[in-house]
Amino acid sequence: MDFEYIEGGVTAALGFKASGIHCGIRKNRDKKDLALLASDRPATAAAIYTKNLVIGAPCTVTKQHLENNTARAVICNSGIANTCAADGIEKANRMCELTASALGISADDVLVASTGVIGPSIDMTPIEKGMPSLVAGLSAGGHTDAAQAIMTTDTVKKEFALQFTLGGKTCTMGGMAKGSGMIAPNMATMLCFITTDAAIDGAMLKSALAEVADDTFNMVSVDGDTSTNDMTVILANGAAGNPIIDTKNEDYQTFTAALYRLCEKFCRALAADGEGATKLLECRVSGGATKRDARLVAKSVINSSLLKAAMFGADANWGRVLCAIGYSGAAVNVQGVRVEFSSAAGRVHVCENGAGIEFSEDSAKKVLSQNEIVIDITLQDGDAFAKAWGCNLTYDYVRINGDYRS
């Protein structure tokens, strides 16, 4: 399968336009706070959402609007999460109505998302006033403005795109995501919007998204907190003209592989931009008894605050890796565990058969002082493999979250 990464983001695929503005939800006028994504034709759509029982009103409304598996637009604000507000559903529906009226489409064809502080009611006035400007700014070049408008504590925008071939037609898939803290997704990520001009029916799109999320978004963690507003949405408008994918054939496999490539990019970007983080961590587990066991081990290690702190200090404290494996809930023969750390500075083997071995602390310090670190864990229980992504834990994480509302 050939995949080529290209410039652009959520508007790289044919038929999509985006816009992003500062409308006044956030006090800082230098930060955009309202984004709009629109397709020039009806699109097949699918989404996955947080499993947190405290769920944002936008997730509930979007779920309702996707009962017919189609959509034309996504409206998203940052600054206020519209969660735990008494009028949350009313406000989420109002955002859809305002967007639909401005675009000349049905409110049921608009999906809504929000991110920011949990609790406050969202003021509709700035959104109403900003809508004409937001719609007027829609363009194929508006992807960067949109990607910036959905950011909260993110320090960098997250947008990627790639191309691939289906049925002899060149297809494009692109997207934008936000997330820096409160990330331990359970069937979604903080916020991610993906578009493609490939033709695929609703059932196959749902299947591909769920399949890919299990190996990508559900395997990334910054701080172990599952958000109330997690949502991943994908729109497929068929503008590329490929034969529609309606069975799990070779084209479905190619489409799913492309989606995995794109989502893996987002996972690495989300983890690398974790609040206060200075290092991206990738944990690779091989030899698991089952896929589930391999995933449990990888996610447990990435989630370990002790391990994350050790990585901040470039300390090869491999015992913390074994500890996290032990409480992961996975079926593991601990006496068969091998652990290695690697980076651009080299590789250091620190554990064999569940016990420590001699290694150079100086070499280990050099390996762990890089900004991207791989933790390789080899089990002796089977042939299952899994990857997870996370980041180190620094003093700045506490500082950022100590005054988040201000």
Active site residues: 189
DSSP string, 41-110: EEEEEEEEE---SS--HHHHHHHHHTTTSEEEEEEEEEEE---S-TTHHHHHHHHHHHHHHHHTS-GGGE
Length, in residues, of the chain: 406
* Distance in angstroms (rounded) separating the CA atoms of residues 120 and 138: 29
* Distance in angstroms (rounded) separating the CA atoms of residues 187 and 331: 23
* Distance in angstroms (rounded) separating the CA atoms of residues 76 and 233: 12
Instruction: Check the CA dihedral 98-100-103-109 and report its sign.
Output: positive
Alpha carbon separation from 49 to 61, 165, 167 (Å, rounded)? 11, 29, 31
**Three-state DSSP state, 40:** strand
* Distance in angstroms (rounded) separating the CA atoms of residues 321 and 31: 39
* Distance in angstroms (rounded) separating the CA atoms of residues 193 and 231: 8
Alpha carbon separation from 388 to 186, 214, 229 (Å, rounded)? 13, 11, 21
Please state the separation of Cα 267 from the chain's center in Å.
6
The first and second tokens of residue 300, run together, are 């447990």
Whether 299 and 388 have beta carbons less than 8 Å apart is answered as yes
